[in-house]
Each structure stands twice: as structure tokens, then as C-alpha cells.
Amino acid sequence: MKLFDVYPHHNIAIERALGSSLWDEKGREYLDMYGGHAVISIGHTHPHYVQRITAQLSSFGFYSNSVHIRIQEELAGRLGEVSGRPDYQLFLCNSGAEANENALKLASFHTGRKQIIAFRRSFHGRTSLAVAATDNPTILAPVNQTDHITFLPFNDDAALEACFQANGDQIAAVIIEGIQGVGGIHVAEDTFLQHIRRLCNHYGALYIADAVQCGYGRSGRFFSHDFAGVPADIYSVAKGMGNGFPIGGILIAPHIQARHSMLGTTFGGNPLACAAALAVLEVMQREALMDNAAKMGSFLQDGIHQLQVMQQVRGRGLMIGFDPPPSLKDLRRNLLFQHHIFTGEAKPSVVRLLPSLALSMAHANRFLEALRAEASKAADPSNTTT
């Protein structure tokens, strides 16, 4: 049997990792400025993380949600504390797509309505409802097509107001990323999120904050939506939540009532995943990683801004995007194969940075030095890459 060929690969095989470094099968070291799609939050193979999972595995690795699993309750308590949502409720699942799927389903249960507002360039996952609310027709199968999703322009107050005025009594929820990731690192304006909150209150809809990529401290605050100063009814989380161990969840406001069997999962909240997630929160607190994300993010943005050829430098914390000029169309390839630095992309040509929240000043400087070297090639047309 061979693997189903859906992923375009770099011809690199990673053998081990530590902190913000990766090593391939030839022993070559790479700087990880992408964190495997914003997954690596506390650094690769952090000793406390490894110890936490190992200890849980030596106790027991799995049982179903038909019994009390105390580590789930421990995780809920710690997550409520670190996120600033101690009165919220936690439903655990396995991924960001599942988190958004359950968030949308729960909103429909709670309101008795079917219509969802999403936004242009959004990405919420690849499962049925999540992909329907994702603005990318190329990953939408015919069976996923629905009339229940309305896409509006991002940060467009007038379009949002008009949609609610026309259909407010039918809208179950508004789902929005605090910073669009796959869409190209576009920050939701604070006033726009506040407007969503007001309209959801007025019309009885739920505000779903998709924090799968932009949450868990990446922006310098636990949720990037927190910059707006208004709470969401449901927050979806995953990616950095487990630092590579598959886990996701939704944080649910106290006014939303649960009933048995309305949501469910086999593997969600398994003890190993919970141990991984607890380790992440413990390291985030002990090492003040949200503060580090804010500091390193500002340092990187300032450094990129100084390279005038790099356009539209944007983001918050360690979720950064910028647009290289056409003369640097091979920038990401050169960073990877000449400077041994992993970065991400968003179509058509955005460079995305999503490193570990524990990124060091030395590693940030290493990235900027490589970027300066590449930027000099745009300034000197005779200096071409080979």
C-alpha cells in the first residue's frame, strides 16, 4: 500500500527536533519558523511535555467517555484559569475542524436556527460544516454544498449590518478567525468584533471565535479576539493546544446548556491528549510564553518593516505575514534550501511566520539575517539566485 498523494512535499525527512530546531536524516539543522502550521506552541520535545505524556502512558492511555476521566477535569480547570474563562464549559475533541464542526452544530442546537455567517478568505476546517464555512471552493465537495452559509467581506461593518437586518431571525451564529491564517494573516478589527457581539446580542445569535490558529497565546494574548474586549459565546481551539499531540476543543459560555448525547466523540479528551494539553498550559505559565510571543513578534515585525522591499507586514505576536516583491518570488524556497529555515505561505505569495511561542532572540535574529540577505538580491538585480 502507498500513501494517498494529497500533500505536496519538500524533499526533506525530519528525524528529530528540539525547541525551534529540526534535523533531517543527513543531520542538517533547520530553524522552524512555521511550527508545523502553528502547532508547535512550547517548542519541540519540551522536557516537561515529554515527561507529562510518558507518565500518563505508564498509568493508562485510554478509556471511553463512559467513565469519569479526572485528567479532563484537571485540564478544564487549568484552561479556564489561563484563558481567563473560568466559568466556561469545555468539550474536548481531536482537531480544529472537529472543534468548529461542533461549535456550529451547538449554535444551531442552541438557537434552533440554520443560517451561519462566515467571511471571505476564511478557513475553518475540512469536515462537513467546517468546510462549508470555509471560503475555498476547491476543497468543497458536492456533498458539502449548502445554502446555510453566507459569506461576507471581512471587516465590512455595513455588509454585516445589512445581513442581520435582512435575516437576523434566521442566523444561528457568526464564525470568525481573530486573525485569518490560511487567508493570508488578516487581523479582524477590534471594532468589527465588537459589532459582531452587539448584533449577536440583539438578534439572539451566537458569536463563535475560531481561535484554532490565532489562539493559545500566539497573538500575545490567550485569544487574539481578546484585543476587542468582548467575549465570544464559543471559542474553538486546537493546533497549539497539544504542541503536536492531536487535541481540540470548544470553550462554551455558561448560558449554553448541555444535554446528554448532543455532542460526542470516541477519542476526544483521551488521557494522553489531556496530559499533552496540560503540559502546554503549565509551560506557558512557567515560562511566560504569551509575553515572549508579544515581545518576539514586535521584534520580528520591526525588523521586517526595516526591509522596505517587504510589503504589508502585518499580524499580532508570533502570527506574522508579509508580501515579498515579485523579484523575490523564490524567497521561501531560498530560505529553506539555502538558509535552512522553514516558513509558511498563503496564496498567492504571502510569507507566514508561526514559530514556537518560546522563540529565542538568537533565533529571531538568525531569521532576520537570512531575510536581509535575500532582500539584498531584490535591491541588486544582478545578484540572482542559482
Residue 103 resides in a domain:
yes
Digit-coded pLDDT (tens) for 21-31: 999 999 999 99
Residue 36 resides in a domain:
no
Residue 163 resides in a domain:
yes
**Alpha carbon 283 to chain centroid, angstroms:** 19
Residue 204 resides in a domain:
yes
Residue 235 resides in a domain:
yes
Residue 382 has pLDDT above 60, yes or no: no
pLDDT tier at 93, thresholds 50, 70, 90? very high
Strand ranges inside the chain, DSSP E: 14-18, 21-24, 29-32, 89-93, 115-119, 149-152, 171-177, 179-180, 186-187, 206-210, 234-237, 248-252, 311-316, 319-323, 341-342, 344-346, 350-353
Question: What is the arithmetic mean of pLDDT over 200-206?
Answer: 98
Specify burial of residue 381 (Cβ count, 10 A radius: 0-12, 13-18, 19+): exposed
- The residues, ordered by sequence, that sit 6+ positions from 369 with a Cβ below 8 Å of its Cβ are none
Euclidean distance between CA atoms 250 and 236, whole angstroms: 4
DSSP string of 42-72, one letter each residue:
S-BT-HHHHHHHHHHHHH-----TTS--HHH
Cell triple for 308:
522596505
Task: Please state at what angle helix 47-59 crosses helix 271-286, rounded to 10 degrees.
Answer: 150
- Owner of C-alpha cell 449554553: 256
Residue 144 has pLDDT above 70, yes or no: yes
What's the confidence (pLDDT) of residue 377? 86
Euclidean distance between CA atoms 376 and 306, whole angstroms: 12
Q: Give me the domain span that covers residue 55.
A: 47-286
Residue 56 resides in a domain:
yes
pLDDT tier at 379, thresholds 50, 70, 90? low
Residue 386 has pLDDT above 50, yes or no: no
What's the confidence (pLDDT) of residue 15? 97
Radius of gyration of the chain measured on its C-alpha atoms: 21
pLDDT tier at 378, thresholds 50, 70, 90? confident
pLDDT tier at 383, thresholds 50, 70, 90? low
Euclidean distance between CA atoms 298 and 266, whole angstroms: 41
How many independent structural domains does the chain possess?
A: 1
Residue 52 in contact with residue 281, Cβ under 8 Å? no
Is the peptide bond prior to 355 cis by the omega test (within 30 degrees of 0)? no
Digit-coded pLDDT (tens) for 237-276: 999 999 999 999 999 999 999 999 999 999 999 999 999 9
Digit-coded pLDDT (tens) for 9-25: 999 999 999 999 999 99
Euclidean distance between CA atoms 363 and 101, whole angstroms: 36
Residue 34 resides in a domain:
no
The CATH number assigned to the domain holding 230 equals: 3.40.640.10
What's the confidence (pLDDT) of residue 290? 98
Neighbouring-strand partners of residue 173: 116, 206
Question: What is the arithmetic mean of pLDDT over 216-225?
Answer: 98
Average model confidence (pLDDT) across the chain: 96
Residue 268 resides in a domain:
yes
Rounded percentage of the chain residues whose pLDDT exceeds 90:
96
Question: What is the arithmetic mean of pLDDT over 273-286?
Answer: 98
Digit-coded pLDDT (tens) for 288-342: 999 999 999 999 999 999 998 999 999 999 999 999 999 999 999 999 999 999 9
Euclidean distance between CA atoms 128 and 242, whole angstroms: 23
